[in-house]
Amino acid sequence: MASKKGFCVESGIYYSKKEPIPLPPPHQHLNLTTYVFSHHSHHNNADVAFIDAPTGAYLTYAALRHNVNALASGLHRLGIRKRDVVLVISPNSIHIPCIYLAILSIGAILTTANPLNTDAEIRKQVKDSNPVIAFTIPELFHKARATQLPVVVIQTASRTPEQQAGGCVSTLHDLLQSRVDDLPSVDIKQDDTATLLYSSGTTGKSKGVVGSHRNHIAMVAAGLLQTQDKNQNDSGEKKDVYLCIMPLFHVYGFFYTVSSVAKGNCMVVMSKFELAEMLKSIERYRVTTLPAAPPLLVALIKSSIVAEYDLSSLRIIGSGGAPLGKEVIDEFITRFPNVEVRQGYGLTESNGAVTFTSTSEENKKYGTAGLLAANVEAKIVDTVSGKALPPNQRGELWLRGPTVMKGYFGNMEATAATLDSEGWLKTGDLCYIDEEGFLFVVDRIKELIKYKAYQVAPAELEELLLSNPEIADAAVIPYPDKEAGQIPMAFIVRKSDSKLKEEDVMSFVSKQVAPYKKIRRAAFVASIPKSPTGKILRKDLIQQTLSTSKL
């Protein structure tokens, strides 16, 4: 019989070493909002759920629950029904969690857009997802108006004449006055679609990822179990205070939001990221937990202003979005010895993290993205033969479990290419799993540099470059070469006092890597383009490089 923990030689499957998490029976009719609020019997309704970082305005759990029900009633009054898609275009605010939970509670489908997207990009997403109404803030009203959708304006008590003429059907303020007694009763199955979140599109066209209520329930359940285990070990510990700098329109921010509500924690919300404002918020609100991306850890290490703030409340930084190098971890631990760096791996298609480190010992496993989460299975598959590989061999990571998406919205071809008939999600990431079950992410397969007969991972070279004290940030891309096919090219952001030259960069790397991994071209730039979650947008750098003959 195949082992259900660790690696099974016969099947080539890696099983989670964690105990399975009990989930609601699949046939039980249940939506994510109800599931999240069902854990509130032990919460104090007077506890603060969300705080607006700059102003200190807050929302208690009692107010949150009332607002969700009132907004759900108001949406129903506007004609929003089960399976209708509702678009939200907004920066982070304490209003967003209420909007999300209300939409899901009536069986409507949430789709979100990056508020920095252009009008054309938003119209393209609207054409793809076909929403019936949009929520946005007054400053972005013109973007929602360009979609020709009816609009609900957030953060205002009354509609301006321009908004009324432009399709504004209500304000959030007005909808929150709706009678809770008029709350509709909607029959929602766990397999019903809850979200339509768009993939980052860092290596290709962004696609709508279909997430079910059960996908998200399974993800929240895993987070709840972690909290219960931690509270058993640390009796009397106060509830966590999260600082949300991750965009709430992204799966990372969405998960932390609903998870925070289920746990009864407090989340401090920043509308946009500024390092000084983040540090001030950690000090002011005694933040304990900071979900982040690797560039933020680099900033905390290298910025001179960090020492001006009291960060003693901070206990945990959860890092995701990209691999975190040993040098960065070592330097961070030296500077912040009382802060645990917990790493994880997930993607929009898995609706959140599917591997993570959760103990002090696991955190010391440098370079890992952690162990498989409970209920998650994995394969490492040879990209040529399709054969499942044993520990310590590199291949494409495949995942299977209750959080894996239903597919790509309206895109059967992309779904078939990513999800096989047995439910395996092909991640497109080159990884390996060691003999202890820890996952190591090497790079995106599509982003590997093909130098002659060798494959070079940009992330490995970027990690090395960041260890140079004169380099503030770096990115590596493939550059066309007639002889080699592709060569590694580095984009470098120098520290303000640095006089680093191209030959210095190449020399620094060449002394520490095999010949085929050498940087053979370098350019200096003011900044590296990144997604809202900190992923390097290498395709933008590649397009920029190919479109000009001289850098």
**Angle at which helices 294-302 and 326-335 cross, to 10°:** 50
**Amino acid letter, 155:** Q
SS (H, E, C) 133-167: EEEECHHHHHHHHCCCCCEEECCCCCCCHHHHHCC
pLDDT tens-digit series, residues 126-161:
999 999 999 999 999 999 988 999 999 997 667 776
pLDDT tens-digit series, residues 522-533:
999 999 998 877
Query: Confidence band (pLDDT; 50, 70, 90) for 167?
Result: confident
Specify the residue for token string 């299975």. 377
Question: Exposure string (b/e) for 445-455, b if CB count within 10 Å is 16 or more?
Answer: bebbbebeeeb
In sequence order, the β-bridge partners of residue 474 are 492
Give pLDDT, residue 326.
Answer: 77
pLDDT at residue 257 tops 90: yes
Q: Which residues contact 504 (CB under 8 A, 6 or more apart)?
A: none
Give pLDDT, residue 1.
Answer: 33
Give pLDDT, residue 5.
Answer: 80
Query: Confidence band (pLDDT; 50, 70, 90) for 234?
Result: very low
| Helical (H) or strand (E) element with 295 | helix 294-302
pLDDT tens-digit series, residues 78-88:
999 999 999 99
**Angle at which helices 458-466 and 326-335 cross, to 10°:** 30
Give pLDDT, residue 323.
Answer: 67
pLDDT at residue 547 tops 80: no
Neighbouring C-alpha atoms within 13 Å toward the C-beta of 37: 20
pLDDT at residue 202 tops 80: no
Query: Confidence band (pLDDT; 50, 70, 90) for 367?
Result: confident
pLDDT tens-digit series, residues 53-74:
999 999 999 999 999 999 999 9
DSSP, res 16: P
Of 28-32, 103-107, 362-366, the poorest mean pLDDT is in 362-366
d(CA 375, CA 403): 9
Specify the residue for token string 């105990």. 19
Give pLDDT, residue 41.
Answer: 57
Specify the residue for token string 């990221």. 273
Give pLDDT, residue 551.
Answer: 44
Give pLDDT, residue 204.
Answer: 62
d(CA 362, CA 341): 10
**Angle at which helices 502-510 and 458-466 cross, to 10°:** 110
Give the ranges where 22-160 is alpha helix by DSSP (H). 32-37, 61-77, 96-105, 119-129, 141-145
Handedness of CA 538, 541, 545, 548 (dihedral sign): positive
Q: What is the mean pLDDT of the chain?
A: 89
What's the Cα-to-Cα distance from 490 to each of 97, 208, 429, 458, rounded to whole Å? 40, 32, 21, 9
